[in-house]
A and B are shown apart, each in its own frame.
Chain A
Amino acid sequence: MPNLKPMPPLTLSAYTLVTANGRGVGPVLQALRERRSGLKPCDFEDVMLKTYIGRVAGLEDFALDRGLDRFDCRNNRLAWLGLQQDGFMVAVAEAKRRYGAHRIAVVMGTSTSGILETEHAYRERDPLTDGLPVWYRARYRYTHNMFSLGHFVRTCLGLQGPAMVVSTACSSSAKVFATAVRLIRAGLCDAAIVGGVDSLCLTTLYGFSALQLLSNEPCRPCDEDRDGLSLGEAAGYALLESSDKAGGRGAVALLGYGESTDGYHMSHPHPEGAGAVRAIRDSLTRAGLRPEEVEYVNLHGTATQANDSVEDKAVYSIFGARPACSSTKGWTGHTLGAAGITEAIISALCLTHGLMPGTLNCRRVDASLKSRILRESQTGSISCVVSNIFGFGGNNCSLVLGKL
């Protein structure tokens, strides 16, 4: 059993985010404040599903070049777009000067990587031999393979430390924080780039449709009439460094993490949320915090019947009805393997700007939910946020973020 002692905080000394709401944290914050959703009727490729998606605009309008051609695919274009925002590359270059390229790890999360390339290649199979098109064969490694994203980000940033891609479905880019903490605490690196990128593809659109988990409307987390999720895409990154070395008073830091599994079912949550409870508790223990010190919980809140009610049971059992709780999926859609980093960065914005966003698209809170679900946004100083992410395979991760 893991040793659960409080951990030293790690500063998020730089961070950035691209979602359907815009490029960079400025536009994302503005959308949160103006309660403007990024969800629109599905117009992805030739998909004929009646659903809404959080598509990042402009990914079809450019290609990766200048030595990055081999990585060119929707997922890596989105990854590249993310790296260009908020001066993130400058902050990484500065960290590289301080620590050296070998002392910075890259830990990225994604669920489907560049599978869209393989989907396209299969349509172009040779009718006689069933062979895949030649353009695709040498590109699998740099696009669809799960490590492609890690390889790409490490190449773009010129880093030479340990690197890996964590892929545990929706919890992927929350768990990257835990892996980075371990690498730093083990002395294998001084800093880590953590993040996640997941992009729209047919596999997830038709897959969630087959599971009957897609709403026909923009998703309505915690609403009494919620009927499923909306898919989105996103890229986000954070530079994590020891708080002894970076970040003054007021800087946002990772205070704790908790990881667990349900050990119950591949695509249904544990009915009592047992795994979720364990993840949240462990995150608080590592942060050295009591539940009553948490002011805001950013829910996984996918707007499926099962997730929102099971998550509510878990959250209520730990926090009662005291902290404000909301889901931000109504803005971004469910960005799957990028949901962890998306909501970690949104939580960082909430801490910095004293904002607790009311759950967008939630018209009437499901009366069976016992937690204090926010419908309207609130403002005020916040010192500590818990962000929950739960995924397929019953894979759970909770993060505690706070101000130094």
Chain B
Amino acid sequence: MEVAIHGIGLLASGLVGWSAGRPVLTGHRPFQPDEVPEPAAALLPPNERRRSSDCVRWAVQVAQEAMAQSGFEPRDVPTVFASSGGEMGVFDKLCCTLATPARMMSPTLFHQSVHNTAAGYWGIATAGQQSSTALSCYDDSFAAGLLEAVTVACVEQSPVLLVAYDLAVPAPLNQARPITTGFAVAFVLAPPSDTSLATMSVRLETASAVAASGLDDADLARLREDNPAARSLPLLSAIASGGVQTIRLGLLDSQQLILELGPCHI
């Protein structure tokens, strides 16, 4: 399956935006993790923004960045949102409430607990009516999301927005899922054309002795291990370096997604 990459969005500690993050990913600038500024997520109407969770603002921020670079009209583009755990901060609040005798649940918090919360807010912000899928595959959620997005692009011959995100898990839930730092990434993909700035060929193979792609920088490698959405880092790093590389993403224990990057000028 062949797809073109039309836009990228990125938000993580030390990687605030794709253009700022690119020289870090190529090794031209040091990776300096720092507090991530509160994402603007300016596309969200003020009312929705006020009520939104951190996940929503991070996801909308990277989606917005990737979409602006692509030049596509957001409302015309189907979406795939991939997250291992979804709204872990909301679950923490809900489960605290449900452990009290009164169990007085907030209706807003309840509707924000669904796995497609970020997808729903993106839809409201863009008044989009295209298809939207939200999915999980635990630590391989990015690879599974990419698979779904690539099949949308290839089978339905449509541009597609892929957003992968997981945020730091609050205490005490972090005892069960110790993700310590947030990561969000977005790609706008589409069927290839003559003017594509970056292309990628994608196939699925039975897992072999060849390990999934890693990273040279030890700190970036640790980030990749920490957060499921950061499993996208080897791909991002290869794109930043101009492409023409093969990236292997693990998909469960049995398969790998093989991504053969053409020249990337994005």
With A182-B148, A393-B120: A259-B84 Cβ-Cβ less than 8 Å: no
Give the residue name and chain of the B residue nearest to A206 (CB): B105
Whole-angstrom distance from the CB of B204 to the nearest CB of chain A? 5
Answer yes or no: B103 CB below 8 A from chain A CBs: yes
Q: Are B129 and A136 in contact (CB under 8 A)?
A: no
Q: Which residues of B contact A250 (CB under 8 A)?
A: none
Q: Which residues of B contact A136 (CB under 8 A)?
A: 176
Q: How many residues of A contact B (CB 8 A)?
A: 74
Answer yes or no: A335 CB below 8 A from chain B CBs: no
With A167-B115, A206-B103: A261-B129 Cβ-Cβ less than 8 Å: yes
Q: Which residues of A contact B84 (CB under 8 A)?
A: 145-147
Q: Are B124 and A263 in contact (CB under 8 A)?
A: yes
Q: Are A145 and B116 in contact (CB under 8 A)?
A: no
With A119-B99, A125-B99: A261-B130 Cβ-Cβ less than 8 Å: yes
- In chain A, positions 184-231 with a C-beta closer than 8 Å to chain B are 185-186, 188, 202-203, 206-212
Q: Are A261 and B136 in contact (CB under 8 A)?
A: no
With A168-B115, A169-B114: A3-B138 Cβ-Cβ less than 8 Å: no
C-alpha spacing A111/B110, complex, angstroms: 12
Whole-angstrom distance from the CB of B58 to the nearest CB of chain A? 17
C-alpha spacing A70/B68, complex, angstroms: 44
Contact of A164 among B86, B106, B129, B144 (CB under 8 A): B144
Contact of B131 among A115, A150, A261 (CB under 8 A): A261
Q: Are A164 and B105 in contact (CB under 8 A)?
A: no
C-alpha spacing A207/B97, complex, angstroms: 11
Q: Are A122 and B95 in contact (CB under 8 A)?
A: yes
- In chain B, positions 92-108 with a C-beta closer than 8 Å to chain A are 94-96, 98-99, 103-107
C-alpha spacing A262/B127, complex, angstroms: 8
Give the most central of B130, B136, B141: most A CB within 10 Å. B136
Give the residue name and chain of the A residue nearest to B75 (CB): A263
Q: Are B134 and A167 in contact (CB under 8 A)?
A: yes
Give the residue name and chain of the B residue nearest to A106 (CB): B252
Answer yes or no: A266 CB below 8 A from chain B CBs: yes
> C-beta contact mask, A135-151 vs B, less than 8 Å → 1, else 0?
01111110011110011
Answer yes or no: A387 CB below 8 A from chain B CBs: no
- In chain A, positions 160-186 with a C-beta closer than 8 Å to chain B are 160-169, 175, 178-179, 181-183, 185-186
Count, A-B residue pairs, CB within 8 A: 236
Q: Which residues of B contact A123 (CB under 8 A)?
A: 99
Q: Which residues of A contact B251 (CB under 8 A)?
A: 162
Q: Which residues of B contact A168 (CB under 8 A)?
A: 114-116, 119, 132-134
With A111-B115, A182-B151, A393-B120: A147-B136 Cβ-Cβ less than 8 Å: yes
Answer yes or no: A323 CB below 8 A from chain B CBs: no
C-alpha spacing A207/B204, complex, angstroms: 40
Answer yes or no: A118 CB below 8 A from chain B CBs: yes
Whole-angstrom distance from the CB of B240 to the nearest CB of chain A? 27
Q: Are B176 and A140 in contact (CB under 8 A)?
A: yes
> C-beta contact mask, B119-152 vs A, less than 8 Å → 1, else 0?
1110110111111111111100100100110111
- In chain B, positions 57-73 with a C-beta closer than 8 Å to chain A are none
C-alpha spacing A37/B111, complex, angstroms: 28
Contact of A102 among B98, B150, B177, B255 (CB under 8 A): B255
Q: Which residues of A contact B99 (CB under 8 A)?
A: 119, 122-123, 125
Answer yes or no: B156 CB below 8 A from chain A CBs: yes
With A2-B78, A3-B156, A137-B175: A210-B110 Cβ-Cβ less than 8 Å: yes
Q: Are A182 and B127 in contact (CB under 8 A)?
A: no
Give the most central of A2, A101, A119, A141: most B CB within 10 Å. A2
Answer yes or no: B208 CB below 8 A from chain A CBs: no
Q: Are B124 and A395 in contact (CB under 8 A)?
A: no
Answer yes or no: A377 CB below 8 A from chain B CBs: no
C-alpha spacing A278/B176, complex, angstroms: 41
With A164-B144, A188-B147, A266-B111: A147-B138 Cβ-Cβ less than 8 Å: yes
Q: Are B120 and A261 in contact (CB under 8 A)?
A: yes
Q: Which residues of A contact B201 (CB under 8 A)?
A: none
Q: Are A102 and B158 in contact (CB under 8 A)?
A: no
Contact of B123 among A150, A182, A261 (CB under 8 A): A261
